[in-house]
Amino acid sequence: MTTIDLRGKNALVTGSSRGLGKQYALDLARAGANIIIHDINEEAAARFNEAASGSAVAQQIAAEYGVAAHFIAADLSDPLQVKALVDRSIEALGSIDILVNNAGGDIGLHTPRPDPNDALDISVEDIRSVVERNLLSTMYACKFAGLHMRERRSGKIVNVGSIAGHVPVLEGIIYAAAKMGISHYTRSLAEELRPFDVNVNCISPAPTYTARFLATRTVSDEDDRSRLQKVAQPEDMSNIVMFLCGPQSDALSGETIVCWK
Protein backbone atom coordinates (compact mmCIF):
# COMPACT_ATOMS: atom_id res chain seq x y z
CA MET A 1 0.00 0.00 0.00
CA THR A 2 1.15 3.53 -0.78
CA THR A 3 1.59 5.72 2.28
CA ILE A 4 -0.86 8.61 2.50
CA ASP A 5 1.50 11.54 2.13
CA LEU A 6 -0.33 14.79 1.42
CA ARG A 7 2.55 17.20 1.98
CA GLY A 8 2.16 20.16 -0.35
CA LYS A 9 -1.56 19.53 -0.87
CA ASN A 10 -4.22 22.07 0.08
CA ALA A 11 -7.58 20.93 1.42
CA LEU A 12 -10.90 22.65 2.06
CA VAL A 13 -13.17 20.72 4.43
CA THR A 14 -16.63 22.19 4.90
CA GLY A 15 -18.25 22.02 8.31
CA SER A 16 -14.89 21.18 9.85
CA SER A 17 -14.78 23.13 13.12
CA ARG A 18 -16.61 20.21 14.80
CA GLY A 19 -17.81 16.64 14.46
CA LEU A 20 -16.74 14.37 11.64
CA GLY A 21 -15.49 17.32 9.59
CA LYS A 22 -13.03 18.21 12.31
CA GLN A 23 -11.75 14.61 12.36
CA TYR A 24 -11.27 14.69 8.58
CA ALA A 25 -9.36 17.97 8.83
CA LEU A 26 -7.14 16.70 11.64
CA ASP A 27 -6.24 13.54 9.72
CA LEU A 28 -5.57 15.43 6.49
CA ALA A 29 -3.27 17.80 8.38
CA ARG A 30 -1.56 14.86 10.07
CA ALA A 31 -0.77 13.58 6.57
CA GLY A 32 0.78 16.95 5.70
CA ALA A 33 -2.02 18.85 3.95
CA ASN A 34 -2.64 22.53 4.52
CA ILE A 35 -6.20 23.06 5.70
CA ILE A 36 -9.08 25.48 5.40
CA ILE A 37 -11.39 25.02 8.38
CA HIS A 38 -14.93 26.12 7.59
CA ASP A 39 -18.22 26.53 9.41
CA ILE A 40 -21.24 28.76 9.20
CA ASN A 41 -19.74 31.04 11.88
CA GLU A 42 -16.96 31.19 14.47
CA GLU A 43 -19.24 30.08 17.30
CA ALA A 44 -20.48 26.83 15.71
CA ALA A 45 -17.49 24.90 17.08
CA ALA A 46 -18.57 25.61 20.64
CA ARG A 47 -22.17 24.46 20.30
CA PHE A 48 -21.38 20.99 21.66
CA ASN A 49 -18.18 22.04 23.44
CA GLU A 50 -15.88 20.64 20.74
CA ALA A 51 -13.70 23.75 20.45
CA ALA A 52 -13.69 27.37 21.53
CA SER A 53 -14.10 28.62 17.96
CA GLY A 54 -13.36 27.85 14.35
CA SER A 55 -10.20 29.91 14.51
CA ALA A 56 -9.10 27.94 17.58
CA VAL A 57 -9.38 24.71 15.58
CA ALA A 58 -7.22 26.18 12.80
CA GLN A 59 -4.66 27.38 15.35
CA GLN A 60 -4.57 23.94 16.99
CA ILE A 61 -3.94 22.24 13.64
CA ALA A 62 -1.18 24.66 12.66
CA ALA A 63 0.55 24.24 16.02
CA GLU A 64 0.29 20.44 16.18
CA TYR A 65 1.10 19.53 12.59
CA GLY A 66 3.15 22.44 11.25
CA VAL A 67 0.87 23.07 8.29
CA ALA A 68 -0.92 26.20 7.17
CA ALA A 69 -4.44 26.34 8.58
CA HIS A 70 -7.05 29.08 8.32
CA PHE A 71 -10.68 29.45 9.36
CA ILE A 72 -13.23 30.90 6.94
CA ALA A 73 -16.92 31.34 7.77
CA ALA A 74 -19.61 31.00 5.12
CA ASP A 75 -23.28 30.07 4.83
CA LEU A 76 -23.24 27.33 2.20
CA SER A 77 -26.91 27.80 1.36
CA ASP A 78 -25.88 31.09 -0.30
CA PRO A 79 -24.00 30.44 -3.57
CA LEU A 80 -22.31 33.85 -3.40
CA GLN A 81 -20.84 32.96 -0.01
CA VAL A 82 -19.72 29.57 -1.33
CA LYS A 83 -17.91 31.24 -4.23
CA ALA A 84 -16.27 33.63 -1.77
CA LEU A 85 -15.22 30.68 0.41
CA VAL A 86 -13.56 28.96 -2.54
CA ASP A 87 -11.91 32.18 -3.74
CA ARG A 88 -10.59 33.01 -0.26
CA SER A 89 -9.32 29.45 0.20
CA ILE A 90 -7.36 29.66 -3.05
CA GLU A 91 -6.03 33.07 -2.04
CA ALA A 92 -4.92 31.76 1.36
CA LEU A 93 -3.33 28.49 0.24
CA GLY A 94 -2.62 28.98 -3.47
CA SER A 95 -4.93 26.19 -4.68
CA ILE A 96 -7.54 23.66 -3.64
CA ASP A 97 -6.26 20.14 -4.29
CA ILE A 98 -8.81 18.39 -2.05
CA LEU A 99 -12.42 19.32 -1.35
CA VAL A 100 -14.36 17.41 1.30
CA ASN A 101 -18.02 18.41 1.28
CA ASN A 102 -18.84 17.44 4.84
CA ALA A 103 -21.24 20.20 5.92
CA GLY A 104 -24.89 19.23 6.21
CA GLY A 105 -27.39 17.71 8.58
CA ASP A 106 -31.07 17.06 9.15
CA ILE A 107 -31.68 20.59 10.39
CA GLY A 108 -34.91 22.56 10.27
CA LEU A 109 -35.12 26.23 9.46
CA HIS A 110 -35.87 27.20 13.07
CA THR A 111 -35.41 23.93 14.98
CA PRO A 112 -32.55 21.45 15.54
CA ARG A 113 -34.50 18.96 13.40
CA PRO A 114 -37.63 19.35 11.30
CA ASP A 115 -40.76 18.66 13.33
CA PRO A 116 -42.70 16.91 11.85
CA ASN A 117 -39.90 15.17 9.95
CA ASP A 118 -41.75 13.05 7.40
CA ALA A 119 -42.60 13.60 3.74
CA LEU A 120 -46.11 15.09 3.99
CA ASP A 121 -46.54 16.98 7.25
CA ILE A 122 -43.08 18.57 7.20
CA SER A 123 -43.20 22.31 6.51
CA VAL A 124 -42.17 23.66 3.14
CA GLU A 125 -39.63 25.86 4.91
CA ASP A 126 -37.98 22.80 6.49
CA ILE A 127 -37.91 20.97 3.15
CA ARG A 128 -36.03 23.90 1.67
CA SER A 129 -33.69 24.12 4.67
CA VAL A 130 -32.70 20.45 4.52
CA VAL A 131 -32.20 20.38 0.75
CA GLU A 132 -30.17 23.61 0.82
CA ARG A 133 -27.94 22.45 3.68
CA ASN A 134 -27.16 19.11 2.08
CA LEU A 135 -27.69 18.73 -1.67
CA LEU A 136 -27.51 22.34 -2.91
CA SER A 137 -24.56 23.30 -0.69
CA THR A 138 -22.64 20.31 -2.09
CA MET A 139 -23.49 21.32 -5.64
CA TYR A 140 -22.39 24.92 -5.05
CA ALA A 141 -19.05 23.89 -3.55
CA CYS A 142 -18.41 21.37 -6.32
CA LYS A 143 -19.24 23.95 -8.97
CA PHE A 144 -16.83 26.61 -7.79
CA ALA A 145 -14.02 24.33 -6.60
CA GLY A 146 -14.57 22.08 -9.61
CA LEU A 147 -14.00 24.94 -12.04
CA HIS A 148 -10.68 25.58 -10.33
CA MET A 149 -9.71 21.90 -10.46
CA ARG A 150 -10.79 21.54 -14.07
CA GLU A 151 -8.57 24.45 -15.05
CA ARG A 152 -5.63 22.91 -13.16
CA ARG A 153 -6.48 19.40 -14.45
CA SER A 154 -6.01 18.01 -10.98
CA GLY A 155 -7.95 17.50 -7.78
CA LYS A 156 -9.97 15.21 -5.53
CA ILE A 157 -13.52 15.83 -4.40
CA VAL A 158 -15.08 13.77 -1.63
CA ASN A 159 -18.79 14.32 -1.10
CA VAL A 160 -20.45 13.14 2.09
CA GLY A 161 -23.81 11.41 1.85
CA SER A 162 -25.40 9.19 4.49
CA ILE A 163 -26.44 5.60 5.02
CA ALA A 164 -29.94 7.11 5.37
CA GLY A 165 -29.95 7.67 1.62
CA HIS A 166 -29.64 3.96 0.90
CA VAL A 167 -32.42 2.52 3.06
CA PRO A 168 -36.15 3.29 3.39
CA VAL A 169 -36.85 5.68 6.26
CA LEU A 170 -39.96 7.05 7.96
CA GLU A 171 -38.17 9.92 9.71
CA GLY A 172 -35.83 12.33 7.98
CA ILE A 173 -37.20 11.48 4.54
CA ILE A 174 -36.15 14.77 2.95
CA TYR A 175 -32.67 14.45 4.45
CA ALA A 176 -32.34 10.90 3.14
CA ALA A 177 -33.48 11.94 -0.33
CA ALA A 178 -31.03 14.84 -0.39
CA LYS A 179 -28.18 12.55 0.63
CA MET A 180 -29.10 10.01 -2.04
CA GLY A 181 -29.11 12.89 -4.51
CA ILE A 182 -25.50 13.61 -3.53
CA SER A 183 -24.56 10.05 -4.48
CA HIS A 184 -26.01 10.32 -7.98
CA TYR A 185 -24.63 13.84 -8.42
CA THR A 186 -21.21 12.44 -7.51
CA ARG A 187 -21.46 9.75 -10.17
CA SER A 188 -22.42 12.27 -12.85
CA LEU A 189 -19.92 14.96 -11.86
CA ALA A 190 -17.20 12.32 -11.93
CA GLU A 191 -17.96 11.67 -15.60
CA GLU A 192 -17.86 15.38 -16.39
CA LEU A 193 -14.47 15.79 -14.71
CA ARG A 194 -12.94 12.47 -15.75
CA PRO A 195 -11.19 13.97 -18.83
CA PHE A 196 -9.51 16.50 -16.54
CA ASP A 197 -8.01 14.01 -14.04
CA VAL A 198 -10.27 15.14 -11.20
CA ASN A 199 -11.54 12.33 -8.98
CA VAL A 200 -15.03 12.66 -7.50
CA ASN A 201 -16.22 10.10 -4.96
CA CYS A 202 -18.66 9.89 -2.09
CA ILE A 203 -18.79 8.36 1.37
CA SER A 204 -22.13 7.55 3.00
CA PRO A 205 -21.24 7.30 6.71
CA ALA A 206 -22.91 5.01 9.18
CA PRO A 207 -24.15 6.39 12.52
CA THR A 208 -21.02 7.74 14.21
CA TYR A 209 -20.21 8.96 17.70
CA THR A 210 -19.76 12.72 17.62
CA ALA A 211 -20.63 15.34 20.24
CA ARG A 212 -23.78 16.21 18.31
CA PHE A 213 -24.74 12.53 17.97
CA LEU A 214 -24.37 11.97 21.72
CA ALA A 215 -26.32 15.13 22.53
CA THR A 216 -29.31 14.16 20.40
CA ARG A 217 -29.52 10.36 20.74
CA THR A 218 -29.49 7.61 23.33
CA VAL A 219 -27.48 4.53 22.38
CA SER A 220 -28.25 1.21 24.04
CA ASP A 221 -25.56 -1.09 25.42
CA GLU A 222 -23.51 -2.44 22.49
CA ASP A 223 -21.24 -4.85 24.37
CA ASP A 224 -22.80 -7.88 22.68
CA ARG A 225 -22.47 -6.45 19.17
CA SER A 226 -19.68 -7.08 16.69
CA ARG A 227 -17.34 -4.35 15.51
CA LEU A 228 -19.31 -4.08 12.27
CA GLN A 229 -22.61 -3.65 14.13
CA LYS A 230 -21.59 -0.99 16.64
CA VAL A 231 -21.98 2.75 16.18
CA ALA A 232 -18.83 3.89 14.41
CA GLN A 233 -16.05 6.05 15.80
CA PRO A 234 -15.01 9.21 13.89
CA GLU A 235 -11.70 7.56 12.97
CA ASP A 236 -13.59 4.75 11.20
CA MET A 237 -15.17 7.18 8.75
CA SER A 238 -12.07 9.33 8.47
CA ASN A 239 -9.95 6.37 7.39
CA ILE A 240 -12.22 5.99 4.37
CA VAL A 241 -12.10 9.71 3.57
CA MET A 242 -8.31 9.58 3.77
CA PHE A 243 -8.30 6.70 1.28
CA LEU A 244 -10.42 8.79 -1.11
CA CYS A 245 -8.13 11.81 -0.69
CA GLY A 246 -4.87 9.89 -1.00
CA PRO A 247 -2.97 8.20 -3.84
CA GLN A 248 -4.59 4.79 -3.25
CA SER A 249 -7.77 6.07 -4.91
CA ASP A 250 -6.12 7.62 -7.98
CA ALA A 251 -7.92 5.17 -10.30
CA LEU A 252 -11.30 5.47 -8.54
CA SER A 253 -13.95 7.99 -9.54
CA GLY A 254 -17.74 8.14 -9.45
CA GLU A 255 -18.12 5.69 -6.58
CA THR A 256 -20.05 5.84 -3.31
CA ILE A 257 -18.70 3.88 -0.35
CA VAL A 258 -21.69 2.97 1.80
CA CYS A 259 -20.82 2.20 5.42
CA TRP A 260 -23.46 -0.30 6.46
CA LYS A 261 -24.15 -0.83 10.15
The answer to whether residue 209 is catalytic is: no
Q: Going residue by residue through the chain (261 aa), what tens digit of pLDDT does each one get? A: 467 999 999 999 999 999 999 999 999 999 999 999 999 999 999 988 899 999 999 999 999 999 999 999 999 999 999 999 999 999 999 999 999 999 999 999 999 899 999 999 999 999 999 999 999 999 999 999 999 999 999 999 999 999 999 999 999 999 999 999 999 999 999 999 999 999 999 999 998 888 776 666 777 778 888 988 888 899 999 999 999 999 999 999 999 999 987
Region for residue 147 given its phi and psi (left: phi exceeds 0; alpha: psi -120 to 50; beta: otherwise): alpha
Provide the number of structural domains found in the chain. Answer: 1
Catalytic position from the list 24, 65, 140, 175: 175
Does any domain span residue 4?
no
3-state class of 256 per DSSP?
Answer: strand
What pTM does this model have? Answer: 0.95
**Which residues, 6 or more positions from 166, have their beta carbon under 8 angstroms from its beta carbon?**
180, 183, 204, 258
d(CA 56, CA 22): 12
Half-sphere exposure of 142 (CA within 13 A, CB side): 27
Amino acid at 27: D
Range of the domain at 113: 10-258
Give the domain CATH number at 145. Answer: 3.40.50.720
Does any domain span residue 1?
no
CA triple 152-194-246, angle to 5 deg: 70
